[in-house]
Amino acid sequence: MFTAPRFVVVDDKKKHLDAILSSFQRIGSPCIGILFNPADEIDKNHFRGLRCLFLDLHLVGGQIGTDHKGDFARIQTILEDNISENGGPFVLVMWTAHPHLKDQLTEYLENNIDPELPHARPLAIFSLPKEDFIPDLDSGDVKEPEKLRDAVQTAILSNPQLAALLGWESDVLSAAGDTLASLLKLVPTDQRKSATFPHALDTILSRLAREAVGRPNVELNHRTAITTALAPILADRVINQQVTPETIALWTRAVTRYNDETIKDASKEKAGYVNRMLHVAIPGAETIRPTDWGTVVDLEDTIWNSDDQMCLIFDGTRSELLKDEFKIKEEDHGKCRPCLVRVGAACDYAQKRRGPLTYLLGLEIPADLKREKGSKAPQAEWKSPVMMLNGDGRPFCLHVNVRFSISKSASSCNGWTVRYRIREQLLMQLLSHSNGYTARPGIVQLLGK
């Protein structure tokens, strides 16, 4: 319900901490302050929305000297222990009047941050002398809080890509507020009273939910139903927001390589991660049920490893389907992973109509795997772009043969293992291919002499 703070300040001196917090309050920016004590554990929830972290280099009252590895190690520990994996990019502002220490800290963190915790790495590190903003360090009196805002803004603008992304996030928050405001305008003026407002708003939300996903599906997930209705409005407001000439200029500086021919030659791994972000929902980050439209589930071992079951369901053994239908060489059979993809009519899914659910047989094939020499993929086969699910896996493409399907009742799918869900844009390509293949007419053509 409450938005996580974007600015966090960590200092071991209360007067300095209060001074910085007062500065942010006076310029109208929400900020949270943490009084550092090495004996106390920091609440990592304070960092879940972090975008800018202010850290005193000497958090235990150390003195400027020649060796700062202890100070750097303490900062490393704070970052690794508290930065949220899903928190997004952040910058680190180090309080020091010695810029060379910023460079040393940058090198230290790049060499020592745990490779398994890439989210703990700041996108950029800046140094600001605390004395410029708190001239009397003993009293903690603030001098020109606007100067602090301008200094941070100038530092971030030195990295136009970072500045553009942080500005985009701010635009999204603004668009979300506008979307909520437009929603509330639907409440009649005479019902904007404490006794009638909740009922009137409930009526509007209920209408939106029912029209967005169909009456039967609202009960499954009320929040998803409302989000389905509001998301297109939010997206439209983000895309068509009025922006200042300064914002346009910033994005022009941030995005410069779109005409560079070298960027099209991305590795399969890099392309796979981009496609995962665009086209794949992962369990954990999102709620996915085996029966959701576009969900990819594991094909049960009891079926895949039984020729009798495979013949009964798919009219062919595992080896026959791999070799004859997916054109996989026998020595590569073990490199491919079988799965099922939930498809079906959009209207049936939205209205939750009674009847068995349809799943198509798919195969995750390594992106660099060569299929049978001289073989051609059957027209019934659809192929996804290259995808990556995690850092430990290999890039692969999902191949789906629309001639091989099974139908199951929803209750019988509850125990299936979900791998991921194909987002709607890519799913519609699969459905279009399936519809085009199954509905294609037979045409007799005359051969010319």
Domain end call among 247, 263, 279: 263
State both tokens at 210. Answer: 């029912």
Q: How far apart, in whole angstroms, are the C-alpha atoms of residue 191 and residue 204?
A: 12
Domain count, the chain: 3
Question: Residues 281, 418: one domain?
Answer: yes
Predicted pLDDT of residue 192: 87
Question: Residues 68, 90: one domain?
Answer: yes
Question: Residues 236, 380: one domain?
Answer: no
Q: At what angle do helices 160-184 and 222-239 cross, to 10 degrees?
A: 120
Residue 97 has pLDDT above 80, yes or no: no
- Residue 109 or residue 100, greater confidence: 109
Q: pLDDT digits over 156-203, tens only? A: 888 898 889 888 988 998 999 999 999 999 988 889 888 899 999 999
Predicted pLDDT of residue 430: 92
Assigned domain for 377 exists: yes
Question: Residues 13, 73: one domain?
Answer: yes
Statement: the pTM of the whole predicted model exceeds 0.75: no
Q: What rounded mean pLDDT belongs to the chain?
A: 85
pLDDT over 70 percentage in the chain: 90
Q: Show Cβ contacts of residue 398 under 8 Å, excluding neighbours closer than 6 positions.
A: 296, 339, 341, 362, 363, 364, 365, 383, 384, 387, 422
Q: How far apart, in whole angstroms, are the C-alpha atoms of residue 274 and residue 303?
A: 33
Distance of CA 223 to the CA centre of its chain: 19
Give the residue among 378, 369, 380, 293 at the shortest CA–CA distance from 336: 369
**Which element (helix H / strand E) includes 78?**
helix 69-82
Residue 59: give the domain boundaries.
7-158
Residue 345 has pLDDT above 70, yes or no: no
DSSP structure string for 384-402: PPPB--STTS--EEEEEEE
Tell me the one-letter amino acid at 15. Answer: K
Residue 391 has pLDDT above 80, yes or no: no
Assigned domain for 300 exists: yes
Average pLDDT, integer, range 263-286: 83
Question: Residues 307, 413: one domain?
Answer: yes
